Structure 1
């Protein structure tokens, strides 16, 4: 593990990295992609541990909480991520969301940092979608459609252009003016010479897209159907925006984790409450052991559920950058 010279000096203190601390850290999209890809490769090599997430949700569905523990074998760190969202039965402005990551050095046995995990998640997830697109999109893919303008939708296009720079038609389906403006601003900040086309006919846009990344919230009316897709289309599900038919009628199904898909993807189940078997998980695809795409005409469905090892790797990278800059507050938590 890279030496964190500004890390806590004893086992009774903990460096806290706030939202503001992490917001000011400059990190390139390529750095994020490389870090996330490294985490997948280390997991496939059997050097990391990524147990299934724990979930609790009340019967009325107004909130959901997750706990995820993992170990990154290349960085020799252990971490736990917690995530809690309240107000799932309300509009976006009334919801509360908190997520944190606590990282420990598994060589020294000392804590590295506890940090807000929201920026890490906002970067990690679109980076994974971009890697899925790089490995599973039809060769020569030129068009991409993003559904949704929330946190995950706003960086989807910049990350896609990072792994697939030859994309020349960028489409966006969204209903919130401020979200659309944010997507445009993010794209302009990373790729000032590129523009996004806001589409109103979702069926036509989906039929033109080589890659669809669905990131919308649970209240979206958007639901792309399987028969809208062109031959060779890749559909990546992050949030909502794809109908279950895109999964059940896909020629090939890829998942970052089949176990997590079976836990968090129940809204895509068929009338009998079942999900189809996954043809391949993404870590071996990324490692070149398993085929991502078999032919240019296959319609592929990819399920992007975050693996905690990617949060750990990216969180540790942020901790490295933050501690090198002297950011954060040291708290004598265990005194």
Structure 2
């Protein structure tokens, strides 16, 4: 039986009631952290949530009628770290190309023992690590036994580290494929893979439907304008398809033998493009925290086609953000701002 007890994090990040430590993009970029550390931190956050020690309310969403932007606000509490935080996310230019879009996300942490502020940080790197780590954990728990091939759809922020994280949790994968429409993105995927696994390379595919038929694990991370829309009839028996962004057609959800979601409520908020013509979703068979805790199954047979919805839970951002704050403090990084003076 898997040990479901959360690990207590004893090392505090000091603060005071007049200053706020600001961690910039540059500060966070200089912090080294292993993929295994990220995976362990994210997994611990899920276990603490399942144990009932953390709180992860449904996110709030604001979107104008013309759909040119989207904003999210997420409040949560990590019970193993005794940290409360709020994350904000704002993306502008959804009706434009990637190069014309603007995206800002920030995380503010408070110590729930002392009542003092800990840090405010750019959350872009946190998200770029947390999301592929969750996909890798989903693959570890939900892929068919003996899975050997993986396809990543999309080469943006979430696609570039998908394969290194997958190899961290599924080291026996021996065929790695990527589909993308941006040459620089494909180059970045290859660069990231070689940085973490120098002896591995990725196969660039142009026929995404054929590649999907050969994949045991599919991670769909593409943007809204992707031409990829893999249908359920292209999935092999036992395939796991993980939706992060776009690249999977709604049939992969509605015709799945088993559906797993990090949060069913959040899937209904952020996954509306996967709903049927009546705006409805199939029932979720299990939420992922319960799967990690060992009280629900990621799959029940080797031939099930499993669909997994990876929506971000703020408790994972809190845990990873607190880990970065600890590392930043140890290195003397960040700027103390007298915000309340």
Find 1:70's aligned residue among 49, 56, 76. Answer: 76
**d(CA) in 1 for partners of 2:284 and 2:10?**
36
Find 2:267's aligned residue among 238, 261, 267. Answer: 261
- Which residue is equivalent to 1:35? 41
**d(CA) in 2 for partners of 1:4 and 1:283?**
25
Runs of 4 or more consecutive aligned structure 1 residues displaced over 2 Å after TM superposition: 1-5
Contact 1:4–1:323 under 8 Å retained in 2: no
**d(CA) in 1 for partners of 2:65 and 2:208?**
33
User: What does the per-residue CA deviation read over 1:92-123, in whole Å, with 9 as the maximum and x for residues that have no partner?
Assistant: 00000000000001111111100000000000
- Which residue is equivalent to 1:117? 123
- Which residue is equivalent to 2:100? 94
Find 1:229's aligned residue among 235, 252, 267. Answer: 235
Q: 1:322, CA displacement in angstroms?
A: 0.2
Name the SS for the 1:189 alignment partner.
Answer: helix
**d(CA) in 2 for partners of 1:333 and 1:2?**
27
Name the SS for the 2:267 alignment partner.
Answer: helix
Which blocks of at least 5 consecutive residues in structure 2 are unaligned?
1-8
User: What does the per-residue CA deviation read over 1:44-99, in whole Å, with 9 as the maximum and x for residues that have no partner?
Assistant: 00000000000000000000000000000000100000000000000000000000
- Which residue is equivalent to 1:108? 114
Find 1:172's aligned residue among 170, 178, 181. Answer: 178
**d(CA) in 1 for partners of 2:97 and 2:87?**
25
- Which residue is equivalent to 1:277? 283
Q: 1:247, CA displacement in angstroms?
A: 0.3
* 1:16 aligned onto 2:19: no
* 1:3 aligned onto 2:15: no
Name the SS for the 2:74 alignment partner.
Answer: strand
Contact 1:63–1:84 under 8 Å retained in 2: yes
**d(CA) in 1 for partners of 2:187 and 2:275?**
34
Contact 1:234–1:301 under 8 Å retained in 2: yes
**d(CA) in 2 for partners of 1:112 and 1:142?**
43
TM-score (norm. length: structure 2): 0.97
**d(CA) in 1 for partners of 2:153 and 2:52?**
35
TM-score (norm. length: structure 1): 0.99
Find 1:161's aligned residue among 161, 164, 167. Answer: 167
Name the SS for the 1:180 alignment partner.
Answer: helix
Superposition CA RMSD, Å: 0.7
- Which residue is equivalent to 2:297? 291
User: What does the per-residue CA deviation read over 1:140-186, in whole Å, with 9 as the maximum and x for residues that have no partner?
Assistant: 10000000000000000000000000000000000100000000000
Q: 1:36, CA displacement in angstroms?
A: 0.1
User: What does the per-residue CA deviation read over 1:277-325, in whole Å, with 9 as the maximum and x for residues that have no partner?
Assistant: 1111000001000011010000000000000000000000000000111
User: What does the per-residue CA deviation read over 1:209-257, in whole Å, with 9 as the maximum and x for residues that have no partner?
Assistant: 0000000000001000000000000000000000000000000000000
- Which residue is equivalent to 2:91? 85
User: In the comparison of the two structures, how many residue pairs are matched?
Assistant: 333
Find 2:61's aligned residue among 31, 44, 55. Answer: 55
Name the SS for the 1:260 alignment partner.
Answer: helix
Contact 1:4–1:324 under 8 Å retained in 2: no
Find 2:189's aligned residue among 174, 180, 183. Answer: 183
Name the SS for the 2:188 alignment partner.
Answer: helix
Name the SS for the 1:152 alignment partner.
Answer: coil
